[in-house]
Amino acid sequence: MSPRIPGFDYQRVRVADDVSLRVAVAGSGSPVVLLHGLPQTHLMWRHVAADHTVICPDLRGYGDSDKPVAVDENVYSKRIMAADIVTVARSFGHDRFALAGHDRGALVAVRAGLDHPEAVTHLACLDVLPTLDMWEVMHGVSAAVGFHLYLMAQPPGLPEALIGASPDVFFGHLLDTWLQDPAAIPADLREVYLAASRAAVPSIVADCRASATVDIEHDRADRAAGTVLPMPTTVLQQDWGSALGFDAAARWRAWAPELRHETVGCGHFMAEEAPTTVIAALRELVRR
């Protein structure tokens, strides 16, 4: 089992007939669910998980949660993963909750907000664009920053073999190049993240492959229908817009009319590099 966040209770929650998630829970009051990104686990929230009733699962396919075989793209669609999170919250008695996600977890959070607006009261997304927009803004050599997405979008077999041949190099590269402050992820925790990712190559690839297939279909359908995120939404983001040539706030506002968008100066792993900024943003969000 992975290390634990001190003071948290750990449980397994069944979200489907063959899938259970490992979930860390602490605190009291109104619920906030925190979703981790790649290549991490729920431990990325260890500096942020302080206020409210805090629920931190390992996503399906990650950490100590179950990793079902991806018989098709739907197994790791953000729609299915979002439904997992709604089930987790309800298992603790919460039909409505605030939701924050980072990286892959933010994509799950967006889909939860679109599919379950009756459940998600507030939404925070850290350092992503919605899936469809992500693919639309990457062009030419500037898209090299997302090389891992293109690799894992390939048909089953090739990316699993390439990444599986040297997973620590692959996932270590993501950790090292996306991190501005190396001290934010100390060596022992870096190894925890690498070990968790090493053990989850097929499911991590399946999660990312879904974002090049079925997740795009779901986003396109919502865009065509004019479906938006009705809840107060906060986005914290590096200045990818100026780097890649797009208006990040405008992209987000098309999905989230009640948007507050902030550009931050830290690296990608902001919950670990700038936790006070993230905590302040989440506290402000839940007051809206």
Annotated catalytic residue 268: yes
Of the candidates 52, 218, 261, 268, the residue annotated as catalytic is: 268
- Domain regions of the chain by residue span: 9-286
Q: What is the mean pLDDT of the chain?
A: 96
Architecture of domain 9-286: 3-Layer(aba) Sandwich (3.40)
CA 229/CA 253 separation, integer angstroms: 9
Q: Mean pLDDT, to the nearest integer, of 263-276?
A: 96
What pTM does this model have?
A: 0.97
The beta strand positions in the chain, using DSSP E, are: 9-16, 19-27, 31-35, 53-57, 97-102, 120-126, 233-237, 259-263
Q: Mean pLDDT, to the nearest integer, of 84-104?
A: 98
Instruction: Considering only CA atoms, give the Rg of the chain.
Output: 17
Annotated catalytic residue 9: no
- Condensed to tens digits (0 to 9), the pLDDT of residues 179-230 reads 999 999 999 999 999 999 999 999 999 999 999 999 999 999 999 999 999 9
CA 97/CA 167 separation, integer angstroms: 35
Band (pLDDT 50/70/90 cuts) for residue 242 is confident
Of the candidates 66, 103, 127, 133, the residue annotated as catalytic is: 103
Q: CA dist 147 to 173, 239, 270, Å? A: 12, 18, 21
